[in-house]
Amino acid sequence: MNKTIIYGHRGASCYAPENTFAAYNKAIEMGANGIEIDVHKSKDNNLIVCHDEKVDRTTNGIGYIKDLTLKEIKKLDAGSWFDNKFRGEKIPLLDEVLEFVKDRNIFLNIEIKNGPIFYEGIEHDIVKAVRAYDLIENTIISSFNHFSLAHIKNIDKRFKTGILYIAGMIDPWEYATKIGASYIHPLYLTINEEIVLKSQNNGVKVNVFTVNRKEDAELMKSFKVDGIITDCPDICKKVFNN
How far are the Cα atoms of 108, 138, 215, 240 from residue 237, in angstroms, in the given order?
17, 20, 13, 5
Task: For residue 146, state whether it binds ligand G3P (rule: CB under 6 A).
Answer: no
Q: Which is nearer to ligand G3P, 40 or 134 (CB)?
A: 40
Contact 144, 164 (CB under 8 A): yes
Q: Which of 50, 130, 229, 236 binds ligand G3P (CB under 6 A)?
A: 229
**Shortest CA distance to 23 belongs to which of 7, 2, 39, 47?**
7
**How far is residue 224's CA from residue 4's CA, in Å, rounded to a whole number?**
8
Kindly tell me the sign of the dihedral angle through the C-alpha atoms of 121, 207, 188, 59: negative
Residue 190 vs 200, nearer CB to Ca ion: 190
Q: Which of 5, 9, 76, 219 binds ligand G3P (CB under 6 A)?
A: 9
Whether residue 186 is preceded by a cis peptide bond, meaning omega within 30 degrees of 0, is no
Binding mask 89-118 for Ca ion (x = CB under 5 A): ----------------------x-------
Amino acid (1-letter code) at residue 154: N
**Paired residues of 8 in beta bridges:** 35, 230
Q: State the nearest-atom distance from the C-beta of 194 to Ca ion, in Å.
A: 26
Write the interaction track for ligand G3P spanning residues 172-211; mark x where CB under 6 A is met and - where it is not. -------------x-----------------------xx-
State the minimum distance, in angstroms, from the CB of residue 114 to Ca ion: 12
**Which is closer to Ca ion, CB of 212 or CB of 218?**
212
Enumerate helices (H) and strands (E) in the chain, giving the number of each: 9, 9
Cβ proximity to ligand G3P: between 84 and 167 the closer is 167
Task: Give the catalytic positions in this structure.
Answer: 9, 51
Q: Which residues sit at the interface with ligand G3P, rule CB under 6 A?
A: 9, 36, 38, 51, 111, 142, 164, 185, 209-210, 229
